[in-house]
Amino acid sequence: MYSNYNQAPPRHSSYNAHPPAHGGYGAHRPPSAAYGGHQQHGPPAGADAQLWQWFSNVDSDKSGSITATELQNALVNGDWSRFDLDTVKMLMSIFDTDRSGTINFTEFAGLWKYISDWQKVFRHFDTDRSGSIEGRELAEALRSFGYHLSPQILRLIEIKYASQPVANGYGPPPGITFDRFVRACVTVKTLTEAFQRVDTDRDGWVTIGYEQFMSIVLSAP
Amino acid sequence: MYSNYNQAPPRHSSYNAHPPAHGGYGAHRPPSAAYGGHQQHGPPAGADAQLWQWFSNVDSDKSGSITATELQNALVNGDWSRFDLDTVKMLMSIFDTDRSGTINFTEFAGLWKYISDWQKVFRHFDTDRSGSIEGRELAEALRSFGYHLSPQILRLIEIKYASQPVANGYGPPPGITFDRFVRACVTVKTLTEAFQRVDTDRDGWVTIGYEQFMSIVLSAP
């Protein structure tokens, strides 16, 4: 028997919140007032004025919806680096609920809250205020979310999501910028949950075919 | 019994080459003439003059070695989009053989040939000359490399590596730019080979623990 994941409550956790969830936020807002194929060029009735301003700033061509390129141009990390395309695509896959390929104002409300919540998480675990998440900070964050990962797996995550190649013995580790930290956490969650769905007897082992294996991996962000 | 990968020779392949390999190119070049900790500011004896020129152009701060940021600033796709950081890190992990975190001139020779070889592959499979690889072109490329992937897996690859979110029923698929095509192919190769190493009886099924599962996935580009 072998078990090392997510079966015990988080220990030594100083962070009582869970990683940001994305279920249903914005779902209770009224649909936009656009009709007849015309695009919406003003805020819907009752819209938050500040949120509408942010939306309009991101929607640089004023089309009424945000493309991946517009979102990527708008989102920057603390060091002013742009978000990776893969993070932008991950965010859009979560919040583009009507699968139009773009983000409308209603969808944007959920996206904006999600990013804001993750920023709080990032700042909480960036204990040395370096603007990036290094090895021990990463371990603490993932542990507080309930993932009991070995030092080897934590090291692989640190290397994969670092904002620069990790050199052996040359200087400090480069750390993980905000957008890659979010993607790392969502990827660990997605992969762990997919594994657990196959591991029906919860012993930490699965028997899995090539097709399902590839499907799980390629479905993660 | 279940078997669907890489056991039959490629069928209907019009491309007789394999995907570019990266073993040993540059290994026979003499080491650089730098000594005593001084950085090298001229080409090593016998260096290809054109290759040195390219190297110097990428090495924008003239430090004698190329960082990930310099490489990312130098590499563009056919549509002038920059290479993803993850593709740049993948290239550096392959060619930074001394694990210094940067690419020296000797390592650059291998990197340059690898990219040139992949460009030929990309142009070969971009049969409609669109500058990106769409679904049927992707299927043909991976089949010619010997991967027998189901339509579902091919679709997941197409969605994951597309340069824009794939919208259901809205317009043509966005396609895969050069750098993401290379990363997709290397990822499929890495995951398939890792699966096959566990699948010792080659029946297409493995029994695998959470730790090894995560290790395989996080070690892929």
The DSSP result for A84-133, as a single string, is PHHHHHHHHHHH-TT-SSSB-HHHHHHHHHHHHHHHHHHHHH-TT--SSB
Interchain contact B207–A (C-beta under 8 A): yes
Supply the ipTM of this predicted assembly: 0.84
A4: pLDDT strictly greater than 50: no
A165/B5 CB distance under 8 A:
no
B39: pLDDT strictly greater than 90: no
A167/B84 CB distance under 8 A:
no
Interchain contact A218–B (C-beta under 8 A): yes
Residue A168 pLDDT level (bands cut at 50, 70, 90) = confident
Query: Read out DSSP for A19-86?
Result: SPP-SSTTTTSPPPS--TTPPP-SPPTT--HHHHHHHHHH-TT-SSSB-HHHHHHH-B-TTSPBPPHH
Helix (H) or strand (E) holding A208, with range, is strand A205-209
Question: How many cross-chain Cβ pairs, A to B, lie less than 8 Å apart?
Answer: 134
Which of B4, B165, B195 is facing A101, going by the closest CB pair? B165
Q: How does DSSP classify residue B39? A: P
pLDDT (0 to 100) of residue A41: 66
* Residue recorded with tokens 């656009």: A34
Residue A20 pLDDT level (bands cut at 50, 70, 90) = confident
Amino acid letter for position A186: V
On average, the pLDDT of chain A sits at 86
- pTM confidence score: 0.85
| A205-216 per-position pLDDT tens digit | 999 999 999 999
Please report residues of B whose CB lies closer than 8 A to that of A160.
218
Mean pLDDT value of segment B70-97: 95
Interchain contact A2–B (C-beta under 8 A): yes
Which of A68, A100, A153 is facing B218, going by the closest CB pair? A153
Q: What are the two backbone dihedrals, phi and then psi, of residue B99, each rounded to the nearest 5 degrees?
A: 55, 40
Which of B68, B163, B211 is facing A4, going by the closest CB pair? B211
Contact indicator for B85, B68 with CB cutoff of 8 Å: yes
Interface test with A, best of B1, B69, B85 (most A CBs within 10 A): B85
Nearest to B124 by CA among B144, B146, B147, B103: B144
Amino acid letter for position A81: S
pLDDT (0 to 100) of residue B33: 37
Residue A173 pLDDT level (bands cut at 50, 70, 90) = confident
Which of B85, B207, B218 is facing A205, going by the closest CB pair? B207
Q: How does DSSP classify residue A209? A: E
CB half-sphere exposure, A219, CA atoms < 13 A? 15
A12: pLDDT strictly greater than 60: no
What are the counts of helices (DSSP H) followed by strands (DSSP E) for chain B? 8, 1
pLDDT (0 to 100) of residue A169: 66
Nearest to B115 by CA among B78, B64, B61: B78
A121: pLDDT strictly greater than 70: yes
| B133-179 per-position pLDDT tens digit | 999 999 999 999 999 999 999 999 999 999 988 877 667 778 999 99
- Rounded to a whole number, what is the distance in Å from the CA of A209 to chain B's nearest CA? 4
Contact indicator for B66, B55 with CB cutoff of 8 Å: yes
Locate the chain A residue with the closest alpha carbon to B190: A214
Contact indicator for A4, A150 with CB cutoff of 8 Å: yes
B10: pLDDT strictly greater than 50: no
On average, the pLDDT of chain B sits at 86
The sign of the torsion formed by the CA atoms of B209, B211, B212, B215 equals positive
Locate the chain B residue with the closest alpha carbon to A149: B211
Interchain contact B213–A (C-beta under 8 A): yes
Taking only residues 74 to 133 of chain B, the set having a beta carbon closer than 8 angstroms to any beta carbon of chain A reads: 84-86, 89, 92-93, 96, 99-102
